[in-house]
Amino acid sequence: MNADLVIAGSGLFGLTVAERCARDLGLRVLVVERRDHVGGNAYSETEPSTGIEVHRYGAHLFHTSNERVWEYVNRFTSFTGYRHRVFTVFKGRVYPMPINLGTICAYFGRVMSPDEARALVAAQAAEVTDPRNLEEKAISLVGRPLYEAFIRGYTAKQWQTDPRELPPEIITRLPVRYTFDDRYFNDRYEGLPTGGYTAWLERMADHPNIEVRLGTDFFDLDAAGNVPVVYTGPLDRYFDHAEGRLGWRTLDFAPEVVATGDFQGTPVMNYADEDVPYTRIHEFRHFHPEREYPPDRTVIVREYSRFADAGDEPYYPIDTAADRAKLVRYRDLARAEKGVWFGGRLGTYQYLDMHMAIASALTMYDNRLRPHFAARGTKGAR
Ligand code: FAD
Ligand code: UDP
């Protein structure tokens, strides 16, 4: 094989490692990708009848407070000034999400100062003192009434798992604010790639030392032999599910071109009621108000969530106690696997935002890959 390093998977983790190893170390890198495009789940494409950029694997909003990651991604693309805001529908009314003073005042039907709202929620949250799962954590943060309105039904649809069996960390991703700040993310930097995700991702792979082989499964590759591997596919698949299958949630996306210039007036509308089968509707034109899109047509995508079967795309690790027990055993196997580094969302069974995937790839490059190749005078066997 004519490569110094093989990377299984061309998502942001694999592309970051490929780019660093090719550009910084001069290694010949072979990236094998099962799909027919690079970029993993951040990939986007143009809906042909409207020209609207649609994120094929669900809406992707870039945000980070990590200076190094921000500097790094700006080498490949500039970012628009987009700021993410979300609304949620509950019993026929619309509220801002994540829960902020606007949500609290609207839900309880009266004007409250930040201190009044804080005192009300604290009284309603007092029933939980030592939160050990998602439900308890959510109640401890926002109290039972707001939990039951905005979180319980949505979470039940999204995870199809009893919220008392889900880890508390899932809900701490959402801020709770006692101001009218209704921005979704707290990070210092935020925006969408000006020329679209695919242009960004393809630019990362654009180097004479990087060969990308699309439509190729890593496990069908002829004899990787002694060549070191960075593996970003599912961890359990690598070991032929020897310790059992890790639980994943998948999503079904139902796109539709609608004959109006504006379907919902905002990029993302969540649906908190349990009897609405989808969790949210994305309207992609609103991610790029700076672009010229048709005035009379728009693309909407309804999102449905369910457990992943063997043939489905694994999107979110469910991470129940049983999953975590299997994960410990897989991590032992991974540590013992010589010449293979496991990374990324699938390879570590971890929910990673894009900036986290990039940061962790840069860390692997600094701490593992660069020292490894330096010690072997660049062109090294495992
Ligand atoms: P992936 O992007 O999953 O890439 C892995 C790649 O490996 C895939 O292309 C896959 O085809 C390939 N592969 C797997 N097995 C093999 C094999 N055997 N052989 C060859 N190739 C293989 N992050 C944000 O920051 N903001 C968001 O708004 C956001 N929204 C998201 C919405 C959804 C629905 C999902 C699922 C994720 C979202 N993310 C978001 C997270 C973001 O997608 C991840 O951070 C990013 O995908 C991580 O990159 P990765 O390289 O680890 O994994
Ligand atoms: N969540 C909720 N109601 C909402 C939005 C989110 O209960 O309107 C919960 C839900 O459990 C979800 C978690 O908060 O899994 C994290 O939300 P986030 O928007 O980060 O999820 P993602 O967009 O990654 O699916």
Looking at residues 131-150, what average pLDDT do you find? Answer: 96
- What atom in ligand 1 is closest to the CA of residue 35? 11
- Report whether pLDDT(2) > 90: no
- The bound ligand whose nearest atom lies closest to the alpha carbon of 173 is 2
Catalytic residue positions? 173, 177, 249, 280, 303, 351, 353
In angstroms, what CA-CA distances link 12 with 19, 29, 104, 170, 316?
10, 15, 37, 22, 16
pTM across the whole model = 0.94
Is the separation of the CB atoms in 151 and 95 below 8 Å? Answer: no
Least reliable range by pLDDT among 115-119, 155-159, 285-289? 155-159
Residue 225 has a pLDDT of 67
- Ligand 2 centroid – CA 155 distance (Å): 7
Average per-residue pLDDT for the chain: 95
Give the single-character DSSP code of 290.
T
The residue whose C-alpha atom lies closest to atom 7 belonging to ligand 2 is 151
Mean pLDDT of 108-112: 98
- For position 267, what pLDDT does the model report? 98
| pLDDT recorded at residue 381 | 43
Ligand minimally distant from the alpha carbon of residue 141: 2
Confidence at residue 172, expressed as pLDDT on a 0 to 100 scale: 84
Q: What pLDDT band is residue 222 in, cutting at 50, 70 and 90? A: confident
Q: How far is the CA of 329 from the centre of ligand 2 (A)?
A: 29
**How far apart are the C-alpha atoms of 187 and 79, rounded to whole Å?**
14
Q: Which pLDDT value is given to residue 382?
A: 46
Q: What is the mean pLDDT of residues 31-54?
A: 98
Give the C-alpha separation, 136 to 130, whole Å.
Answer: 8
Test site for ligand 2: of 55, 134, 151, 304, most ligand atoms within 8 A of the Cβ: 151
The residue nearest atom 2 of ligand 2, judged by CA position, is: 151
ipTM topping 0.95: yes
What is the best residue among 90, 139, 158 to mutate for testing ligand 2's pocket, by most ligand atoms within 8 Å of CB? 158
Residue 380 has pLDDT above 50, yes or no: no
pLDDT at 334 over 70: yes
The DSSP secondary-structure symbol of 120 reads H
Identify the CA nearest to 308 among candidates 249, 234, 251.
249
* Interval 76-109: pLDDT, tens: 999 999 999 999 999 999 999 999 999 999 999 9
Q: Is the CB of 305 under 6 A from ligand 1?
A: no
Nearest atom in ligand 1 to 316's CA = 36
Would you say residue 9 has pLDDT above 70? yes
In this prediction, residue 173 carries a pLDDT of: 78
The average pLDDT across 310-322 equals 89
Give the atom of ligand 2 at the shortest distance from the alpha carbon of 270: 8
Pocket test for ligand 1, best of 73, 159, 238, 354 (most atoms within 8 A of CB): 354
Whether 341 contacts 230, CB under 8 Å = yes
Instruction: Give me the pLDDT at residue 244, please.
Output: 96
Multiple choice CATH, 5-79+190-247+319-375, 3.40.50.720, 3.40.1380.10, 2.40.160.40, 3.40.50.150: 3.40.50.720
- Ranges for all domains in the chain classified under CATH 3.40.50.720: 5-79+190-247+319-375
pLDDT at 223: 66
335: buried, middle or exposed (CB in 10 Å: 19+, 13-18, 0-12)?
exposed
Q: Quick one: which atom of ligand 2 is closest to the CA of 150?
A: 3
What pLDDT is stored for residue 104 in this prediction?
98
Of 198, 298, 197, 315, which is closest to residue 252 (Cα–Cα)? Answer: 315
Residue 128 is predicted with a pLDDT of 93
User: Is a pLDDT exceeding 80 seen at residue 378?
Assistant: no
Percent of the residues in the chain that have a pLDDT greater than 90, as a whole number: 89
Q: Return the residue whose CA atom lies nearest to atom 25 of ligand 2.
A: 158
- Greater confidence, 66 or 222? 66
Rg (CA), the chain: 22
What is the pLDDT, as a whole number, of residue 169? 86
**Residue % of the chain over a pLDDT of 70:** 97
